[in-house]
Structure formats: structure tokens, C-alpha cells
Amino acid sequence: MPPANPVEGSGLVAIDRCAFPIEARGFDDGAAAALAGALPVAPLADVLTDLNRAGTTVTSVPGNPAGVSQAFGWNSGDQSVAYWIPQGLTGSADARDDGLVDGREVVLASWYYSAADDPNGTGEKGVRVSLADVTNPAGVAYRHLLLVEPFMDGTRPDFRAVEIHAGGMAWLGDLLYVADTVHGFRVFDLSRVLRVETGAQTIGYDGAQSAYFAANYKYVVPQVGHYERLGDCTPRFSFVALDRSTTPPSLVSGEYSATSITGRLFTWPLTTTGRLAAELSFPSRAHFAMQSHLQGGVSKDGTFWLSSSEPPAGAGDLYVTGEATPTQVFGWVDAPEDLMLDLPRNKLWSLSEGDGERFVFAVSPPPGG
């Protein structure tokens, strides 16, 4: 139960972690392996040499958060498209100890598809992710890849769109965790990015052309399993991030609420394989956030950085807090979303979703008090 008299900004309030079980499902069904046997596997190093879009370098972002050290906007088409909306953020800072993939500094952003806003839509497209090389801040390049869910159609492997909001992501090793709001986490394998044919809006196997397509995207990232919430406490998974200050690293997930300050935050322990600790897992910590409108959250050594879209229409807030630690409030980007903490380079990354104001940026993380 929430505190009897919750006080906004009073710091995180611990709650019983054992009320929130989550169960692993589908990791050994064979569909992803069969699909990888039917299609060419493209190593990330190869995909990073095949980036086909250019970002635009900027020096500030709407809301004017302090200390922006690096920022870019998507190209003109992606800035203004109504039916793809950016949400989650992760990158090489999560994936590897040194913060690099194939010697490059990389970010990965998720976008969900809104079919109702696509006047020429041909069906649900689910979620795409943008793989961006940000090693040179003045020359950012990126490419979109489609997330897909493999399945067996008789003896033939096939795939379908992943129809979720994808409000947050965390990348560790080869595994990409994506928040699935009312279920838990979807898990994708970045060691098995697959190349498909282009030139058609079909998603999956097209029998008429005897080929696989992915809504005209060249690469797909296959799901390899998922985690499903259990019990009566029904946590929501609005966002997820990686905490590299624990050994092994942990996942941090949280709940968005526009009407309450008692959205919950959860820390999920991982093993050295990058998977959750057991087939049936529980968070190692759970808290009420005591803040509203949370869009992203990440932690280090007990300090939490939380992005909030309150106040709306002008600028968001960045909260820095901890258990029973009064919250510090900093100005943040307008229409903020997910967060990623880059420990090797001491950067806090985020992104914004506003139509025509879609940016990815990094600041020095404000210290906790």
C-alpha cells in the first residue's frame, strides 16, 4: 500500500520486493535459431558500416538543460513523421564494460508505430530501433532496424511485428531488453541481426516472392524470449535501464503515472549470462518514487536519476533522489523520455519525443545529495 500521507519529493520509499514475481518464457522454443538458419546473419560491426541516414548536430535542446556536452537531431523525415514516435534509449555504454561496440560509441533508440497516424499504412509495424554511431559528435550516422518476434509456420520459420510501446531499453552483452508495459520485458538478440529483402511493406515471409521482408527495412532483430509479470500487484513496465554499479549489472524499471506520485521503481538482479537470476525472479529492491510523470530512470550506487514530463509544454524535470533522500530538481528537456548512464565517460544520455523536436543528448549527471 502507498504511504498514508505521501509527500512529493521526499525521496524513495521502500516496499516489499517479494510482491512482484516475474517469469521467463519462450527462451528455448527454437524459432529464433531456425530463423537465423534461414536468413543471413549480419554482425553489428557490419551493420555499423551500413548506416544510411545522417543526424544533425545541435548545441542545445528544447528546455535548455544545463551542461549539454553532445547532442544530435534525427534527419528531417524522422523529426516530423507522425506515425513513428521515439521512446527508449540504450547503447554501447550499457552493452560493454568499456562503453564501446566494435571500437565505436553507439546509441540505440526505440520508436513505436502509430498505425492510426499513417495515412498510407499497410498494417502494424510494431517497433523499430535506430542504431546510431555517435563516436564523432559532428558526424552522427544511423540506420533503422525492425524488432520482430519469430514463430514457426509449420516447418518454416517466420516473424511478426512486435506491437508494444517500447518505452525503455537496456542492452547488456548481446541481449536487448525492451519494456513491455503490461507484461514485463521482451528480450532480443543483437548477435543475430538478420538481413532481409527490401522493396515491400510485407513483414515476414512472402510466399508470392519466396522471400522475407520487414516493411522495407533491411535488417531485423529477433526476439529470443520474454519475461511475464505474475501475481496481483500488476507492476507496469513504462521504462527500463541498466545499473552497471552492481555486480553483475541490474535492470531498473519504473511506472509512469500522470495522477499519482506513488508510481513504483524496481531493481532486477541479472546473472553473468545477462539473464534474470532465475526462471521465476523477484526484484532485489522496490520503491515508491514519490514523483509523477516519470518517463525514464537509471541508478548508480543507490542514487536515482528520473526524467519527468512534468511540467508539460516547455520543459521537463530531472529528479535526483534516493531512499529517504529529498529529491533535487533540475531543468530538463521538453517531452523527455528514457535515460542511459555512461559510466566510462560520465555522461547521462536522454532523448525527447516532441514532433519536430526530437533530439538525443548527453550531459554530465548532476550528483546526488
pLDDT of residue 6: 87
- Give yes or no for residue 180 having a pLDDT over 70: yes
Report yes or no on 368 lying in a domain. no
pLDDT band at 369 (very low <50, low <70, confident <90, very high): low
DSSP state of 270: B
Residues present in the chain in total: 369
136 within some domain: yes
Lowest mean pLDDT across 9-23, 26-40, 311-325, 343-357? 311-325
Range of the domain at 279: 13-363
> Whose CA is closest to 312, among 340, 352, 263, 339?
352
How high is the pLDDT of residue 4?
75
pLDDT for 1 equals 67
Instruction: For residue 221, report the phi and psi dihedrals to the nearest 5 degrees.
Output: -120, 115
**End-to-end alpha carbon distance in the chain:** 27
Residue 161 lies in a domain: yes
Q: Which of 74, 96, 289, 293 is nearest to 175 (CA)?
A: 96
> Cα angle at 88 between 255 and 287, to 5 degrees?
25
Residue 255: per-residue pLDDT? 98
204-253 confidence digits (pLDDT tens): 999 999 999 999 999 999 999 999 999 999 999 999 999 999 999 999 99
pLDDT for res 186? 98
pLDDT at 313: 64
pLDDT band at 141 (very low <50, low <70, confident <90, very high): very high
Beta pairing, strands 294-300 & 303-308: antiparallel
Average of per-residue pLDDT across 104-127 = 96
pTM of the model as a whole: 0.97
59-90 per-position pLDDT tens digit: 999 999 999 999 999 999 999 999 999 999 99
In a domain, 2, yes or no: no
Q: Give a yes or no: residue 83 inside a domain.
A: yes
6 lies in some domain: no
Domain count for the chain, please give it. 1
Would you say residue 4 lies in a domain? no
**197 lies in a domain?**
yes
pLDDT of residue 175: 98
In this predicted structure, the answer to whether residue 257 has a pLDDT above a threshold of 70 is yes
Encoded amino acid at 189, one letter: D
Instruction: Tell me if residue 212 falls in helix, strand or coil.
Output: strand
